[in-house]
């Protein structure tokens, strides 16, 4: 909370600066910070009293707070960053309108839900706590989602306009060769029958029975892929599960990371002896419960190592494997006895896809677009300084 108190001090400081020059006779208030061509609700002008500027300032202050505090981002740089962000979003809107592109409400809602899920997973207290800490409401986050959708469209269009040749792809392949080299080891597909509360013995045993039932159906001839999809649908976030869909899928284990096990029962007993204090019934915040999860993880590693070493390619392991999130169903896809070094020609299509993904995730495409669209709409941004030390 201390950080957000400081953030609010900065925001109030900027508001006070703008307030000095407020004209009560006009709807638009403050200093003229930028101009651009195009008829919109803002008449092609950004003033320091504009609501969208205040919202983005509040968001970006929180985002860049550490850089502002340690001096690596100057007040002038920060001020220009805020104004550039506001102008960019406004001319993006104008550009979408000029191109006849409508942003669908369902796409915005889907992006909003995706962003919310990320805050719920990575921010202490989740999205609702973040809204309280930042002081930004759902309207702002819905507008943020809208611009996320717009910028995905822009990146895709910019990518299509890129002239990506073999020289560029070959350089990317050479620089990332380790990603394409296939090391000796096992490839597998894992499906997780999730247990929400692994300390609940009834739920634990019930989901084990479910996993065994799925394995019986595979043994009786049902397609592994159909069972995979059924489990992913059942153990989804919509149904209250948080890890199955994330953890299920294709994986690789290098030979150097595979334990050599002849006697699985003895190996599991040895693991148990390493965690004498493990207790599934202990408080979830306790070290004893953490040890129990570590014990399950170690057991998973041992049994998966044993399974892969004793399976043929294409086999499904006959019993579910205990893990810290539930029960794993395992199929062996590939075994490589030694490292494989594919050529660029063999991997060209995958290299192209990876290179495109990297471009989509980088700022390169948006930087090119910004340069083009700022020229198209004759954007002019004034130098502006936001000084957090003025509010005392």
CATH number of the domain that 196 lies in? 3.10.50.40
Number of domains in the chain: 2
Of residues 8 and 383, the one with the higher pLDDT is 383
What are φ and ψ of residue 352, in 5° steps?
-60, -45
Query: For residue 17, is pLDDT > 50?
Result: no
pTM for the predicted model, two decimal places: 0.60
Residues 146 and 234 in one domain: no
Task: Examine the domain organization and report whether 188 and 138 are in the same domain.
Answer: no
Does 169 map to a domain? no
Whether 119 and 221 map to the same domain: the answer is no
CA distance 274 to 164: 54
The answer on pLDDT for 281 being more than 70 is: yes
Tell me: do 14 and 121 sit in the same domain: yes
Q: Looking at the predicted structure, is the pLDDT value of residue 387 above 70? A: no
Nearest to 150 by CA among 196, 96, 106: 96
Q: Give domain status of residue 297, yes or no.
A: yes
186 and 140, same domain (yes or no):
no
Determine contact, residues 152/159, Cβ cutoff 8 Å: no
Same domain? 246 vs 188: yes
Distance CA 222, CA 355 (A): 37
Residue with tokens 């957000």: 4
Structural domain for 11, as ranges: 2-162+366-390
pLDDT tens digits for range 166-205: 999 999 999 999 999 989 999 999 999 999 999 999 999 9
Whether residues 114 and 186 fall in one domain: no
pLDDT given for residue 168 in this prediction: 94
């Amino acid at each position: 909370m201390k950080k957000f108190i400081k953030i609010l001090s900065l925001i109030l400081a900027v508001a006070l600066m703008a307030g000095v020059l407020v004209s009560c006779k006009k709807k638009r208030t403050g200093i003229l910070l930028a101009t651009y061509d195009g008829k919109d609700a803002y008449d092609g002008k950004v003033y320091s009293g504009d609501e969208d500027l205040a919202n983005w300032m509040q968001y970006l202050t929180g985002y860049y707070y550490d850089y502002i505090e340690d001096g690596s981002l100057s007040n002038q740089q920060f001020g220009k960053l805020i104004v550039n962000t506001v102008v960019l979003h406004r001319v993006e809107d104008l550009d979408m309108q000029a191109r006849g592109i409508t942003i669908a409400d369902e796409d915005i809602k889907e992006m909003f839900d995706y962003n919310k899920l990320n805050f719920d997973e990575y921010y202490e207290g989740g999205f609702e706590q973040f809204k309280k800490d930042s002081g930004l409401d759902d309207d702002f986050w819905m507008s943020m989602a809208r611009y996320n959708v717009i910028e995905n469209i822009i990146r895709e269009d910019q990518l299509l306009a890129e002239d990506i040749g073999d020289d560029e792809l070959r350089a990317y392949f050479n620089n990332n060769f380790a990603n394409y080299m296939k090391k000796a080891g096992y490839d597998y597909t894992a499906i997780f029958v999730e247990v929400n509360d692994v300390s609940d013995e009834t739920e634990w045993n019930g989901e084990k029975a479910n996993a065994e039932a799925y394995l019986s159906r595979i043994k009786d001839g049902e397609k592994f892929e159909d069972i995979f999809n059924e489990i992913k649908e059942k153990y989804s976030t919509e149904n209250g599960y948080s890890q199955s869909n994330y953890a299920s899928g294709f994986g690789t284990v290098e030979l150097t990371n595979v334990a050599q096990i002849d006697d699985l029962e003895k190996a599991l007993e040895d693991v148990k002896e390493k965690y004498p204090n493990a207790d599934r019934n202990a408080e979830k915040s306790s070290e004893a419960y953490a040890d129990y999860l570590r014990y399950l993880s170690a057991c998973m590693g041992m049994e998966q190592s044993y399974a892969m070493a004793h399976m043929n390619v294409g086999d499904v392991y006959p019993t579910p494997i205990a893990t810290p999130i539930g029960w794993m169903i395992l199929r062996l896809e590939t075994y490589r006895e030694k490292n494989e070094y594919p050529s660029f020609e063999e991997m060209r299509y995958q290299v192209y896809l990876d290179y495109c993904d990297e471009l989509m995730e980088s700022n390169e495409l948006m930087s090119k677009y910004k340069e083009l669209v700022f020229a198209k709409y004759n954007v002019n941004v004034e130098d502006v300084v936001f000084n957090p030390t003025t509010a005392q």
